[in-house]
Amino acid sequence: MSQKKTVCVLFGGQSSEHEISCISATSVIKHLDKEKYEVLPLGITKKGKWFMYRGAVDKIATGEWENGPITRAIISPDGVMGGIIKLHEDDYTRARIDVVIPVLHGLYGEDGTVQGLLELAQIPYVGTGVLASALCMDKGYAKMIFKQAGIPHAPGAVVLAKDLDKMEQIVDMLEKTFEYPCFVKPCNAGSSVGITKAHHRQELENGLRFAADMDQRILVEAYIEGREIECAVLGNDNPKASVLGEIVPEREFYDYEAKYKDSNSALIIPADLDEKTTQTVQVYAVKAYKELGCSGLSRVDFFIHKQTGQIYINEINTMPGFTDISMYPKLWEESGVSYTALIDSLITLALERSQQKCV
């Protein structure tokens, strides 16, 4: 029997999506094939402290993992060691790892920062590399790539938080460009954190200030009265698209509360779309994935205009939610790939990608 590979599941983090990361990581750990993998959970607190966790898996989702049993530990950037350093009172020990699953959403995890650390450490990891992670994380820069690639998207404009002392001039400019309602989004945030829908000038000003508390770059975007469609993409050089899913939010739009706290929002899988529309969305999803240089996995989100049927790409999530109710694993399950098989494929893709790199 072949030796088990050691998988480090990295979770938590300092972003506003810390709690979702913990829930996602719990699901990932539970579904990892324990006959094939030795699992090392490594958690990051909201303050940025790293700990190896050895307790009950369910306590990760609740946040109780921080109460122990834990040991201070970090991933070493030393490319020769390729593993974890566990810090003791006056000493340290090492633990080699074969691959990392960085189940981190948002800033300091999905934006290329952790990916850069793992590149330095020369440790294979699940998901997209440094540059593509950073580009996909920033909605403004991703929109520039969509435009270059000829993928339809909603018109948008980026505002810098440092310029909001000229609020009146900025809002005047935005009102000449966009009709109400419009969306205001931090460029670098996920799970719809910090997004507001502005119906008039005062809401636009409030939304800009709110987004500025979370990011230095703010995207103002035209409102598309559309159905919310999502496509899961899996692969490296030859990525495949899943069946499509549709979100029918209970709230005005699919915000953080609707995604994770409001059980009334409906997920329809597969989405009720004609074959031509389905295939077009899948083609756009794979094209966007390739154009941005993604690898491993991503969930690509779209709007389909309710009146015209026009397809608009919204964004790419390079580490989508992996909870038991998350769209990404559910889309692949409907496509014939179980959660456990999906995780196994992602690890295989991570190892393949690391072997292709030039030294």
pTM over 0.85: yes
Question: What pLDDT, on a 0 to 100 scale, did the predictor assign at position 80?
Answer: 85
pLDDT-derived band of residue 16, with 50, 70 and 90 as boundaries?
confident
Sign of CA dihedral 118, 122, 128, 132: positive
Two structure tokens written together for 298: 């991503």
For β-strands 5-12 and 99-102, DSSP reports them as parallel
Please check the confidence at residue 165 and state whether its pLDDT lies above 80: yes
Phi, psi dihedral angles at 180 (to 5 degrees): -85, 145
The pLDDT score that the predictor gives to residue 356 is 81
Reply yes or no on whether the pLDDT at 254 is more than 70.
no
Q: Work out the average pLDDT over 17-34.
A: 95
Judgement on whether residues 146 and 185 belong to the same structural domain of the protein: no
345 located within any domain = yes
Indicate the residue among 191, 222, 253 that finishes a domain.
222
Q: How far is CA 124 from the centre of its chain?
A: 18
Asked if pLDDT for residue 38 goes beyond 50, the answer is: yes
Residues 14, 94 share a domain: yes
For residue range 289-345, list pLDDT tens digits in order. Answer: 999 999 999 999 999 999 999 999 999 999 999 988 899 999 999 999 999 999 999
- Give the per-residue pLDDT at 111: 93
Give residue 179's domain range: 156-222
Q: Compute CA distances 119 → 16, 69, 100, 125, whole Å.
A: 25, 29, 11, 9
Q: Is the pLDDT reported for residue 251 higher than 70?
A: no
pLDDT tens-digit map of 56-99: 999 999 999 999 899 999 999 998 877 999 998 888 999 999 99
d(CA 296, CA 313): 20
Would residue 281 count as lying in a domain? yes
| CATH, residue 240 | 3.30.470.20
Res 252: pLDDT: 59
CB 315 within 8 A of CB 328: no
Tell me the CATH number at 89: 3.40.50.20
**Euclidean distance between CA atoms 154 and 152, whole angstroms:** 7
Q: Quote the CA–CA distance of 292 and 230 in Å, as a whole number.
A: 17
What CATH number did the domain enclosing 182 receive?
3.30.1490.20
Q: Please determine, for residue 255, whether its predicted confidence score (pLDDT) is greater than 80.
A: no
Inside any domain, residue 254: yes
Q: How confident is the model at residue 272 (pLDDT cuts 50, 70, 90)?
A: very high
The least confident of 202-206, 260-264, 312-316, 332-336 is 260-264
Whether 186 contacts 210, CB under 8 Å? no
Mean per-residue pLDDT for 276-283? 98
For residue 126, give both structure tokens: 């699940």
Contact 106, 194 (CB under 8 A): no
339 occurs within a structural domain: yes
Q: Looking at the structure, tell me whether residues 105 and 163 fall in a common domain.
A: no
What average pLDDT does range 194-219 have in this prediction?
A: 94
Higher pLDDT, 192 or 287: 287
Q: Compute the residue count for the chain.
A: 359
Flag whether pLDDT at 9 surpasses 80: yes
Q: Give me the number of domains the chain comprises.
A: 3
pLDDT value, residue 189: 74
Residue 255 domain-assigned (yes or no)? yes
Q: What is the pLDDT of residue 257?
A: 54
What average pLDDT does the segment 144-171 reach?
96
The region of weakest confidence among 28-32, 92-96, 271-275 is 92-96
Mean pLDDT of 138-155: 96
